[in-house]
Amino acid sequence: MIARTLVLLAGLSMSALALAQPSLNLSDYTLGYRFNLPGQIGMVGEASAITYNWDTGTLFVVGDEAEAIVEVTKTGEVVGSMKLNFGSSFDAESLTYIGNGQFALGEERTQSVYQVTYEAGTSLSLSSLTPAYSFGSYSDNEGLEGLSWDPRNNTLIAVKEKNPQAVYEADINFNDGTGSHSILFNASLLGVLDLSDVQVLGTVPSFLGTGLDDNLLIISQESRLLLEVTRTGEVLSSIDLRRLSGTAEGVTIDELGNIYIVDEQPRVFVFLRPTPAVPEPETYALLLAGLGLVGLAARRRRVA
């Protein structure tokens, strides 16, 4: 009877593991270190967005004054920069790496997204860019706040700050600015005051095929929270940023699963991923084999 109960409980536990949505468990992350960004004129200024370039292993940051895109190492050393001659009215609030040295850059008020090719030491004018894709009509300082490229299917996830908040999934042709977008889920499910940036987890190689690659990181500046959420709007875990910064509004993740948050100071806070404690597949195999032996022994006792 005891053996049969153990086998039943083990089966139920394995079913629960299979059905539960995998989570990063952000509460297990630790603040490893922080560094300041170059805030002088012509560099980052008031930082608004950060993204990780998996081809170079470096971070790229832009300020909402759109003075430059700046490349820095994971510890803050400046690698290079590209000046942006976009004019003072351009409000750059979102930046994401899309591969092959190219980025998607978003303007908040017009809710437009441009494809940008980064070339260190050069200048870029707005007129030289390909046609933009727009997520909607003009929104005065409450529009497009965050972008994240999903390399699994070459789509963009985007967030609108408020009035109303929105989380979009978009399929965009950057060659001619055409495409389409739709609401991914009801953003009110998140229960935060605003949406400041988003990061897909499908950019982390070790997450692919685990279920983690379907999750998103969403940061709220006004609520001072970093959330891990599903693509249906379920909050899985969070980090409270209240003691860290009141202006944190950009988030990205590297190939190791370490998380980088940028604020307007401008500073970068680096949260380190804990050593995975999830049992390896071989452990599950041994567990099932052991339970099988328990069941076999119980049956033999009944026969005897």
Q: How many helices (H) and strands (E) does the chain have?
A: 2, 21
pTM: 0.85
Q: Please, are residues 279 and 13 in contact by the beta-carbon 8 Å criterion?
A: no
Q: Is the pLDDT of residue 278 over 70?
A: no
Burial of 227-253, coded b for 16+ CB within 10 Å and e otherwise, reads bbbbeebebbbbbebeebbebbbbbbb
Average pLDDT of the residues of the chain:
87
Q: Which of 9-13, 64-68, 118-122 has the lowest mean pLDDT?
A: 9-13
pLDDT of residue 28: 98
Of 7 and 96, the one with more pLDDT: 96
